[in-house]
Amino acid sequence: MTVSAPLQKEIVEWQQFTGQFAAVDYVEVRARVSGYLTEIHFQDGQIVNKGDLLFVIDPRPYEAALASMRAQLSRAEAQVDLANIQLKRSAELRRRDYEPASSYDQRVSDLKVATAAVENAKAAIRSAELNVEFTRITAPITGRISRHQVSIGNLISGGESGSAGLLTTIVSLDPIYFYFDMSEADYLAFERATARGRMRSTRDSSVGVSLHLSDEKGWPHDGHLSFVENQVDRAAGTIRARAVFPNPDLLLTAGQFGRIRVPGSEPYRAILIPDAAIVTDQSRKIVLTVNDDNVVVSKIIRPGPSQEGLRIVRSGLSPTDKIIINGLARARPNAKVAPHPGTIEVEPETD
């Protein structure tokens, strides 16, 4: 029969959840002007940087429209020059009282109309220049681009609304979001612990979390909570949370699933024992201990969650107790035994 004192260790209790990665930025690339697609400047699935040229729509119709608007501006400026000359002539005639006031007023009005036509032509030029610029479609963000949805030679339908045809999509990669749902009970437990001062609020962006993918051991990816939804989903009884993780090697991809652990407490010194040392007596959990006279004594405990392969004991044991960790089948309360010393060791968790 082997006995050992409970293991004392500073730990953090963790809650684990399954969730899914999502891009911080997701952009649907659409054309803002219509025309024939003449060039594609990327390979499907490659990394693109903000400002990189992606598509070119035939700019010639818009360049012709721009030239026409510039000609309209020249014409409007000529009208302003003429209106100025006529106004000066009319002012001189009016000063000598050779021209009625109505004629002079008409010249003033003509100048204002001509000036307004110049401003209108300048606005039309700015609009035409934008249309020419919009024929060159560039990447709005840095990230991984999807496949092109339209091939060269197709007529692209553009516009300022969402009805414009989809050309491709881009998702940012670093950093990356991880969304997961926690039950109402888990969320309430976090809030209670925060109210008692046992841990920081889950809405505090400094709360550190860890994560692993389906083929990884341990918790190799570190991040932090960045958002908790403002209400519980009525249908599912869950609340959604979001963590953010750095992704410098671009291993993490939007849509992947992973397993995250969130701290359920601040670091504290806990008593840990193996599950094999716990006996169930109806609804009670019991641990058999050996006192200084080598007599078996049963103690009722309140166990907590598992931690590193051992069970946290909330209450019922003291650090000096000697618990039976091997040979429970031969132990009986109030019986005298010949114990042998042993040790309790942690087992690193792999999930």
Domain that holds residue 236: 14-23+176-263
| Mean pLDDT, all residues of the chain | 85
pLDDT level of residue 200 (50, 70, 90 thresholds) = low
Domain identity same for 146 and 233? no
Instruction: Quote the pLDDT of residue 259.
Output: 92
**Percent of the chain at pLDDT exceeding 70:** 94
Whole-structure pTM value: 0.71
Q: What is the 3-state secondary structure (H, E, C) of the chain?
A: CEEECCEEEEECCEEEEEEEEEECCEEEEECCCCEEEEEECCCCCCEECCCCEEEEECCHHHHHHHHHHHHHHHHHHHHHHHHHHHHHHHHHHHHCCCCCHHHHHHHHHHHHHHHHHHHHHHHHHHHHHHHHHHCEEECCCCEEECCCCCCCCCEECCCCCCCCCEEEEEECCCCEEEEEEEEHHHHHHHHHHHHCCCCCCCCCCCCEEEEECCCCCCCCEEEEEEEECCCCCCCCCEEEEEEEECCCCCCCCCCCEEEEEEECCCCEEEEEECHHHEEEECCEEEEEEECCCCEEEEEEEEEEEEECCEEEEEECCCCCCCEEEECHHHCCCCCECCCEECCCCCCCCCC
- Tell me the pLDDT tens digit for each residue of 44-54: 999 999 999 99
Does residue 346 form part of some domain? no
Same domain for 204 and 157?
no
Q: Are residues 118 and 186 in the same domain?
A: no
Structural domain count, the chain: 4
- Domain membership of residue 309 (yes or no) is yes
The answer on 167 and 129 residing in a single domain is no
Task: Tell whether 351 is covered by a domain.
Answer: no
Q: What is the pLDDT of residue 25?
A: 93
What's the whole-number mean pLDDT along residues 327-339? Answer: 81
Task: State pLDDT tens for residues 169-189.
Answer: 999 998 999 999 988 888 887
CATH of the domain at 158: 2.40.50.100
The enclosing domain of 211 has a CATH number of 2.40.30.170
Classify residue 190: in a domain, yes or no.
yes
Q: Same domain for 75 and 212?
A: no
Q: The domain spanning residue 110 has which CATH number? A: 1.10.287.470
Mean pLDDT over residues 158-165, rounded?
A: 75
* pLDDT for the residue numbered 7: 83
Kindly state whether residue 349 falls inside one of the protein's structural domains: no
Same domain, 72 and 102: yes
